[in-house]
Amino acid sequence: MTSRATVTKAVIPAAGLGTRFLPATKAMPKEMLPVVDKPAIQYVVEEAVNSGMSDILMITGRNKRSLEDHFDRVPFIEKTLEDKGDLERLAMVRAASELGEIHYLRQGDPKGLGHAVLRAKLHVGDEPFAVLLGDDLIDARDELLKQMVEVQAKTGGSVIALIEVEPGQISSYGCADISVIEGEDYVRVNKLVEKPSVDEAPSNLAVIGRYVLHPAVFGVLEETGPGRGGEIQLTDALQTLAAQEEGEGAGVYGVVFRGRRYDTGDKLSYLKAVVTLASEREDLGPDLREWLKDFTGTLES
Ligand code: G1P
């Protein structure tokens, strides 16, 4: 595969209420919850930037001002650190405000993920773009998004990321029925269902929060009515594109991801993500791992 493919725009929906993290998210966006020492959203923005996307559009809502503040300069903190000669912390503080061009747009009505993505239509225009959902963190060592960009360029369709899950977990995700394409490292998506019951799920392949989409998805979203939960579902719009055999932006393809993904979408997964990431850090890892070993020894099985 060539490495010339580029997508420069990324859309990050961040308008959700974060009800699964109440009361922590009563006055603070869930995207700002710290994963070790950075807010979850910073990992996602860094991933987009490291994948070549310098233009980020965040779809936000009420109570999300701290997102804008986080990615902005903070002269008085920078000055204090500079005066103290604390260059390490200064670099960390500045890093968040030097991550490229970040734009913000409010979703308005909370009508679902499909609706949030549709809000990006004017900003994105007529080019393929990425969508990154903040609940999924992809390890920086695994270049999933870059691979998806290349598949998009090669196929001309839209590309989703899939993982294999235990059959009982599929109802928490969009689910894909796929066909293997001989000789390729991506699959053809035949059918997509949003959060099917275990009995109705066509496979155990779950959609995770990375997409590289053809702009044809906007026209389809405009025609997509409310689906599961009464919300306009991105999965339903992609199902329409998957069913199209020809035309601009027809077809949906999948990359089956077997790398490191950290789910921060609910309390238990979030705790696991924080412990896993911290235990791999050079600065915190050795002490934390030691402590974890002792600690697990005190747990009754
Ligand atoms: C959304 C999508 C779903 C996908 C999931 C991945 O659901 O609608 O298809 O599997 O993200 O995280 P949500 O988790 O926002 O309800």
What's the confidence (pLDDT) of residue 4?
64
What's the confidence (pLDDT) of residue 132?
98
CA of 233 to the centre of ligand 1 (A): 9
Q: What is the pLDDT of residues 11-70, one digit of tens each?
A: 999 999 889 999 999 999 999 999 999 999 999 999 999 999 999 999 999 889 999 999
What's the confidence (pLDDT) of residue 1?
47
Measured from the CB, is residue 207 less than 6 Å from ligand 1?
yes
Pocket test for ligand 1, best of 17, 59, 113 (most atoms within 8 A of CB): 113
Q: Which residues of the chain have pLDDT under 70?
A: 1-4, 301
Q: Look at the domain 9-265 and name its fold.
A: Spore Coat Polysaccharide Biosynthesis Protein SpsA; Chain A (3.90.550)
CA of 175 to the centre of ligand 1 (A): 10
- In the chain, where does the domain assigned CATH 3.90.550.10 lie? 9-265
What's the confidence (pLDDT) of residue 301?
67
CA of 44 to the centre of ligand 1 (A): 16
**Dihedral sign (CA 5, 121, 62, 271):** negative
Measured from the CB, is residue 150 less than 6 Å from ligand 1?
no
Measured from the CB, is residue 174 less than 6 Å from ligand 1?
yes
Q: What is the pLDDT of residues 212-230, one digit of tens each?
A: 999 999 999 999 999 999 9
